[in-house]
Amino acid sequence: MTSALYLPKMRNVLAGISEEQHRVDEVEQPKLLRKVRERGTPWTPEELVEACASGYYAAPPEIGRMLFTFVRATRPETVFEFGTSYGFTAIHIAAALRDNGFGMLYTAELHEGKCTAARNNLASAGVGEYAEVIQGEAEEILSSFSRRIDFLYLDGWAEFYLGVLRAAEPRLRAGALIHADDTAKFAAGARPYLDYVRDPSNGYVSTAIADGQGLELSTFTRTSERALS
């Protein structure tokens, strides 16, 4: 079976998001970084979401493939994503769930327009049935989330990672995988989160991965010939 990731409609949607992101974020990202630098007080989620409303801020394709790999290899029933944006990472996760043949992604996004765009992108990529885009504040959504979480992907804003993790904690499966992005890029914001997950008394084993320095994780997307014989 060809992986969902290689189907033409999937490739078209992912390429479209990447192209738009380069065009839009080239202008929007410097504006956002200036606002973040000039800000002297902590942001509320609503203020930050408004500040980045005109940008994409999608993860790079390598992270998309890494998420795909994690989901194919660990076969989670429930994945929770903090920060959907236009659905670039959500599509990779949903493609892996589709290849697994089971599982569901719940992805939280506060911005209404991005929720609509992500739902459309997931549907156009052919994996809409594996993902539910939930409009709202991630911590609030998690406070009433009733499913056991096998894989938690954090890609909203680093300042909120700890709050989101603590809200997810009662639902985390023993052995759940937690992937937090941009912890070096936004090191100051991520600090409380990193201190928490690196303190063994909080129940985690945690390590930093320096992406961009030669790291590759892979999973096999077809049935092994050896397994068939």
Ligand X SMILES: C[S@@+](CC[C@H](N)C(=O)[O-])C[C@H]1O[C@@H](n2cnc3c(N)ncnc32)[C@H](O)[C@@H]1O
Cβ proximity to ligand X: between 1 and 139 the closer is 139
- CB-based closest residue to ligand X: 83
89 scored as a contact of ligand X (CB under 6 A): yes
114 scored as a contact of ligand X (CB under 6 A): yes
Longest distance between any two alpha carbons in the chain, whole Å: 64
* Number of separate helices (H) and strands (E) present in the chain: 9, 5
162 scored as a contact of ligand X (CB under 6 A): no
Stretch of 84-92, 124-132, 200-208, 219-227 contacting ligand X, by CB under 6 A = 84-92
What is the C-alpha to C-alpha distance for residues 120 and 113, in angstroms, rounded to an integer?
11
83 scored as a contact of ligand X (CB under 6 A): yes
**Could you tell me which residues are beta bridge partners of residue 81?**
107, 153
Cβ 174 to ligand X, closest distance in Å? 26
Cβ neighbours of 146 (radius 10 Å): 5
133 scored as a contact of ligand X (CB under 6 A): no
Cβ proximity to ligand X: between 99 and 159 the closer is 159
57 scored as a contact of ligand X (CB under 6 A): yes
What is the C-alpha to C-alpha distance for residues 155 and 179, in angstroms, rounded to an integer?
9
Asked if residues 120 and 96 have their Cβ atoms less than 8 Å apart, the reply is no
Cβ 210 to ligand X, closest distance in Å? 19
What is the C-alpha to C-alpha distance for residues 115 and 85, in angstroms, rounded to an integer?
7
Asked if residues 88 and 95 have their Cβ atoms less than 8 Å apart, the reply is no
Contacts 24+ apart (CB under 8 A), 38-42: 42/159
Q: What is the dihedral of CA 29, 184, 13, 80, to 10 degrees?
A: -120
Stretch of 22-30, 123-131, 155-163, 194-202 contacting ligand X, by CB under 6 A = 155-163
* Window 167-206: contact mask with ligand X (x via CB under 6 A): ----------------------------------------
Cβ 110 to ligand X, closest distance in Å? 4
Which of positions 27-56 make contact with ligand X (CB under 6 A)? 45, 48-49, 52
Phi, psi of 146 (to 5 degrees): -105, -5
State the residues that interact with ligand X by CB under 6 A: 45, 48-49, 52, 57-59, 83-86, 88-89, 108-111, 114, 137-138, 155-157, 160
